[in-house]
Structure 1
Amino acid sequence: MNTSALAAPGAPSRSLLAPTRVAVVIGASCLVWALLQWLAQGNLDGYHDMLENYAWAQAWDWGTHKHPPFFAWVVGAWFAVFPQTDWAYRLLSYTNVAVGLCGVLHLARRLGLGALAPTAALLLLWSLPYANLAAKFNANSQLLSLWPWTAAMLLASWQEQRWRGAACSVALGLLAAASMLSKYYSGVFLAGFLLPTLLTAAGRQWLASPRPYLALAVFAAALAPHIAWIAGHGWITLGYAMDQGSGATQWGYVLRFALAPLFYWLPGWLACVGVFSYWQRKTQPDASHWARTWLHLAWQSWRPTGWADTLFWLAFTPWALTLGFGVAGVAELSTPWAIPIGFAFSLLWLRNLQAAVPGATARALAALHRAFWPVLGAIALAGLALAWSHARSGHSGYYRPSFEAAQAIADDWARRHPGTALGWVGGAWAENALLAFYALPHARTLPGLPDTYPALFNPHAGWEQQAGILLCPRGPYSTTGSAPAPDAACEDTAQQWLAQRGQSAAPHLIAVQRQGWRFPRPQTFVYAVFDALPATPPPPRLP
């Protein structure tokens, strides 16, 4: 593959940032974002996705009742090393971002655009998916690290020969499988490899070699245990994915997804086009009016160079295919699905703009680099302002005492049942995972009841012989001081199940507050705990 053909005339011959400095900038930026998210958000996330990840990680199984398992495995591996705290979870979120940005750097070098790689990474750090949305580690954000490296390994498999080519092909198969095992939506991304492979000479030559078939064999072998798992469980995970489509075109969702490349990556794109427009006007005094210049470059930033434009197809195809499925009614498009699609956007903008304004490229890149730290400083101030706003407003999501509740429930259990280990926690999925994450890591988290759907898809063996609880959070007291109402669905189910087993169905109520300098307006939250004690074995019969 002739990668030099992709580097436009006028491009800087080498990066304006040394590799070590690039690594420092990426690492420091991700640490700043992790700290800001920990400070601004009192809890992990409002929908308990991150607690759900941890609960699935406890099983280490080949599937779940909702999603494929790879991102849960990542969570399990991470917390085998790091403490189970919010800040460590945020660090995982932004380590994932840093790994993804390293993949973008490698992809750029494989495309012959290594000089643009650091700037492309910096521009992604100004985008919502890599900056703000990445804070919630889940199936969508996991793909931020996997997709760039998978694309880079596709090109590496094209370019390398002999044992290097074989190694890159194996890596391609494994990364493609990890992408699918994170979210089935990755099938759209992998399908996007078809056009650049068929439309480029390097891709067609690759197809005539053993390397793609080695990658395909590795991909199939890595997916086989998961396929066997879902086949043995009624295709539950695949069924959940298929249920995301209503069969009719939802034009509102289609429109939002169509605009996602702009509003998710708007800050970096505006900065990129704006800087090149400015330097074109500075270096070409006879250039057209500034507005026409800006609009011209804005259009140029997204255009392909021809049918054999590998970078354009990598950047464009996941978005276009997803839109096609949405228009056809195959899927009801969710805007967060767009989180991983933009890994190649900034490279595309920079490559196209350096070709459109070759004389200004070095100065435009230098200007973007100079702006990075002031922008990051402004973002830090905005994060502090957001934290102050949440603290002062009394936002219930900020004040929800997940950590304190877990500690209080664990202490209360030890006091009421001394010497009895708590083996499992059921009830309100997935908020009930707070107990295992913050206090009792060996207590298995179960969705709902231990002997019914969906807990039976990842069963907890021996739960009948273990003590457990059913946890039903009631929420905060109102501003008028009235107590929160019970969660009727959760508590009724718990009481009926316990009554059927001949056990007490009375809830044990625990009230908890958050304290400290981050929480100047404490709110009291109530948690209903139902004890589920193991059945007492019958006395031995006399001979």
Structure 2
Amino acid sequence: MAAPSFWSAASGAVAVGVSCLLWALVQWLARGNLDGYHDMLENYAWAQAWDWGTHKHPPFFAWVVGVWFAVFPQNDFFYHLLSYVNVAVGLWGVWHLAARLGLRTLAPTAVLLLLWCLPYTTLAAKFNANSQLLSLWPWTAALLLASWQERGGRGLAYSVALGLLAGASMLSKYYSGVFLAGFLLPIFLSTEGRQWLRTPRPYLALAVFSLVLAPHLAWVAGHGWITLGYAMEQGSGATQWGYVLRFALAPWLYWLPGWLACVAVFSYQQAQRQGQRFWPLLGRLAWRSWLPTGSSDTLFWLAWAPWALTLGFGIAGVAELSSPWAIPIGFAFSLLWLRNMQIATPEATPAALHALYRAVGPVLAAVALVALALGIGSARTGQGGYYRPSAEAAQVIAQDWAQRHPALTLGWVGGAWAENALLSFYALPKARTLPGLPDSYPALFNPHPAWQQQAGMLLCPRGTLRPDGSQPLPTVCDQQAQQWLLQRGQNATPRLLTAQRQGWRFPHPQTFVYAVFDVLPQPASAHRLP
């Protein structure tokens, strides 16, 4: 079947680019800040270390953040732009996966349907270990097929690339092991996959994969297996049925808008041509959209294996399933729907693809209107997360430091992880962000050896002023900072600074309070505590 006349690689790239740029603008307008849990600031803080591991996650997604901000300005919009560039790269991988599966005609529509699904739109806004996989998994799957389809030097080159991308996936999140284990099904169940195993190519990919992981494993082994320990803590040993149920429903909840659009449009076009009733046809096609064509259906196994294996681990009590783990699993879902719809309704396929294509503009317009409504709603209701003045507070704190210590460069900032990274991200990029206290867990896993010779700061956000205008109470962060400073013979009195967000987007300013503790360099003799 020839590609529809309305599609070209250029028009598809433009549609994806415009969509991703719009979503970056939407998130900047509607959110007011990066994210409520400071995950994105945490990524940036880890990026400063450029190490082979952290006390929580493998390091690849932090490296991506570091490379990005080595080029682009450090502000919220460009961070959101990184999130959606990551989406665009993943969608490009889906396009190539479609071509490798012989579904090039369906690739553009599959890509646009994913841009109607939550993992590629709202959930993608928070760039972290889960969303990083949106770009890595589709390309890794496409390279698996390229490795077993190509021969000679090209096949070897694709095998090296497969090993590199598989390693990058594991270096982003260990959960990628489930995704890679899922490759065994299409490999062993397809003739091409079994033939591939009788060539050097899979073993070259495995060797490259092992080399990529080796430095990280050495780092983890040298640091008490801390990263693996954090991963193992995600399982309690008992089946958590509530989490299992939520993850079981994830394919339908996260991908519901794109799935419904796909099935509804094909059902309508088929009903129009065959004189069938719409609703019964919709029910039959909705069921059929998820089914395999046979036991060796490579597309089906690529689409469903990560979900099924994860669900199995959850039922067995190996892991306590988290709904955000489902964010990267559906990269092949839209291809599966469209392939099955094309088989079930071949005469309706061209019109259905055209209708879905024509919906791109109205959908993007609706997204813009919803974003505007959300931004207005957050501004009018005075949501704390929207009004939190992270960028403004960083400037206030940096200026206050420069006025009080004009001859001292701030070398590091500890305190409340990971919100304390706001100072480095928005104002002082050369100031190293440390988790908590510089000489205690978990700062010791990515140490800053020069902290004792440098001027530093402990930053403890306290929240907003009380309704009567009085100061909020000290936090646990304040108490730990004061105790630590007193033990070192330094001034433990906090300096309280305030900041607000103002302008047309923030009609009801709220005053946030930040406690700052100076940590001044001490003589070498003072470093030796009794």
- Residues 297 and 496 of structure 1, relative CA distance in 2, 3 Å threshold: same
Report the secondary structure of 2:497's partner residue. Answer: strand
Which residue identity is paired with 1:53?
A: N
Which residue identity is paired with 1:294?
A: L
Aligned to 1:517: 504
Residues 168-222 of structure 1: per-residue CA shift (max 9 Å, x gap): 0000000000000000000000000001000000000100000000000000000
Question: Among 335, 339, 343, which residue is 1:355 paired with?
Answer: 343
- Residues 158 and 36 of structure 1, relative CA distance in 2, 3 Å threshold: same
Question: Among 501, 522, 530, which residue is 1:535 paired with?
Answer: 522
Give, in whole Å, the separation in 2 of the partners of 1:432 and 1:129.
28
* TM-score, length-scaled by structure 2: 0.98
8 Å Cα contact 1:15/1:118 also seen in 2: no
Question: Among 421, 446, 451, which residue is 2:409 paired with?
Answer: 421
Report the secondary structure of 2:413's partner residue. Answer: strand
Question: Among 97, 113, 118, which residue is 2:108 paired with?
Answer: 118
Which residue identity is paired with 2:352?
A: A
Indicate the RMSD between aligned Cα atoms, in angstroms.
1.1
Residues 84-113 of structure 1: per-residue CA shift (max 9 Å, x gap): 111110110000000000000000000000
Aligned to 1:319: 307
How far does residue 486 in structure 1 lie from its aligned partner after superposition? 1.5
Aligned to 1:394: 382
Aligned to 1:252: 242
Q: Equivalent residues in 2 for 1:432-451 (5 A)?
A: 432-451=420-439
Which residue identity is paired with 2:408?
A: T
Aligned to 2:480: 493
Which residue identity is paired with 2:363?
A: V
Give, in whole Å, the separation in 1 of the partners of 2:339 and 2:513.
56
Residues 353-408 of structure 1: per-residue CA shift (max 9 Å, x gap): 11001110000000001111101101110000000001111100000000010000
- Residues 465 and 491 of structure 1, relative CA distance in 2, 3 Å threshold: same
Give, in whole Å, the separation in 2 of the partners of 1:513 and 1:283.
60
Aligned to 2:254: 264
Task: Determine whether 1:458 maps to 2:446.
Answer: yes
Task: Determine whether 1:405 maps to 2:405.
Answer: no
8 Å Cα contact 1:15/1:116 also seen in 2: no
Report the secondary structure of 1:180's partner residue. Answer: helix
Aligned to 2:368: 380
Q: Which moved more, 1:474-483 or 1:55-64?
A: 474-483
How far does residue 12 in structure 1 lie from its aligned partner after superposition? 4.6
* Identical positions, percent: 74
Aligned to 1:6: none
Which residue identity is paired with 1:76?
A: G
Aligned to 1:278: 268
8 Å Cα contact 2:290/2:336 also seen in 1: yes
8 Å Cα contact 2:4/2:350 also seen in 1: no
Which residue identity is paired with 1:29?
A: S
Which residue identity is paired with 2:487?
A: Q
Which residue identity is paired with 1:519?
A: F
8 Å Cα contact 2:458/2:481 also seen in 1: yes
How far does residue 16 in structure 1 lie from its aligned partner after superposition? 3.9
Question: Among 219, 229, 238, which residue is 2:219 paired with?
Answer: 229
Aligned to 1:369: 357
Task: Determine whether 1:202 maps to 2:170.
Answer: no
* TM-score, length-scaled by structure 1: 0.96
8 Å Cα contact 1:156/1:168 also seen in 2: yes
Aligned to 1:504: 491
Give, in whole Å, the separation in 2 of the partners of 1:308 and 1:495.
64
Aligned to 2:10: 20
Report the secondary structure of 1:473's partner residue. Answer: strand
Give, in whole Å, the separation in 1 of the partners of 2:477 and 2:525.
31
Give, in whole Å, the separation in 2 of the partners of 1:264 and 1:122.
15
Give, in whole Å, the separation in 1 of the partners of 2:208 and 2:389.
45
Question: Among 22, 39, 49, which residue is 2:29 paired with?
Answer: 39
How far does residue 15 in structure 1 lie from its aligned partner after superposition? 6.6
- Residues 65 and 142 of structure 1, relative CA distance in 2, 3 Å threshold: same
Question: Among 456, 466, 479, which residue is 1:468 paired with?
Answer: 456
How far does residue 462 in structure 1 lie from its aligned partner after superposition? 1.3
How far does residue 478 in structure 1 lie from its aligned partner after superposition? 3.5
Give, in whole Å, the separation in 2 of the partners of 1:524 and 1:14.
56
Residues 252-294 of structure 1: per-residue CA shift (max 9 Å, x gap): 1000000000110000000000001101111101x3x322111
Give, in whole Å, the separation in 2 of the partners of 1:182 and 1:149.
14
Which residue identity is paired with 1:322?
A: T
Question: Among 77, 84, 89, which residue is 1:99 paired with?
Answer: 89
Aligned to 2:230: 240
8 Å Cα contact 1:16/1:115 also seen in 2: no
Question: Among 130, 143, 148, which residue is 2:138 paired with?
Answer: 148
Which residue identity is paired with 1:121?
A: V
Which residue identity is paired with 2:523?
A: T
Give, in whole Å, the separation in 2 of the partners of 1:433 and 1:15.
50
8 Å Cα contact 1:153/1:168 also seen in 2: yes
Report the secondary structure of 2:510's partner residue. Answer: coil
Residues 39-95 of structure 1: per-residue CA shift (max 9 Å, x gap): 111110000000000000000000000000000000000000001111110110000
Aligned to 2:159: 169
Give, in whole Å, the separation in 1 of the partners of 2:3 and 2:498.
64
Aligned residues between the structures = 526
8 Å Cα contact 1:36/1:380 also seen in 2: yes
Give, in whole Å, the separation in 1 of the partners of 2:3 and 2:157.
30
8 Å Cα contact 2:415/2:458 also seen in 1: yes
- Residues 15 and 60 of structure 1, relative CA distance in 2, 3 Å threshold: farther
Report the secondary structure of 1:359's partner residue. Answer: coil
Which residue identity is paired with 1:159?
A: Q
Give, in whole Å, the separation in 1 of the partners of 2:466 and 2:439.
35
Give, in whole Å, the separation in 2 of the partners of 1:537 and 1:121.
60
Give, in whole Å, the separation in 2 of the partners of 1:94 and 1:312.
27
- Residues 538 and 217 of structure 1, relative CA distance in 2, 3 Å threshold: closer
Aligned to 2:149: 159
